[in-house]
Amino acid sequence: MTQLILIFESIHKVLKAEQILVNNKIKFDIIPTPKEFSSDCGMSVRVDFSTDIEIIKSLLLKNNLNFQLYEKEIK
């Protein structure tokens, strides 16, 4: 199963993203940032690959939340 990992610059931005996603009824998880992607911020947002990432991108960028997007295969 493939999941999408959104990595932000700080925990403050992760929490702001959380609020936006909750308000828009988008399913997600807050997870520890996988070390293979970054060590800057300790927490990230994970969404299922089936989620419409374009909607998420639009919502977050509209709220000035920059992030990096990675795919991770979960076994």
State residue 49's pLDDT score.
80
State residue 72's pLDDT score.
82
Give the C-alpha separation, 38 to 46, whole Å. 14
- Pick the closest to residue 53 from 63, 43, 64, 45 (CA basis): 45
State residue 25's pLDDT score.
94
Per the structure, the complete domain to which residue 23 belongs is given by: 2-73
In tens digits, the chain (75 residues) has pLDDT values of 788 999 999 999 999 999 999 999 999 999 999 888 876 668 999 998 888 899 999 999 999 999 999 988 877
Give me the CATH number covering residue 52: 3.30.70.790
How many domains does the structure of the chain reveal? Answer: 1
State residue 59's pLDDT score.
96
Give the C-alpha separation, 43 to 35, whole Å. 11
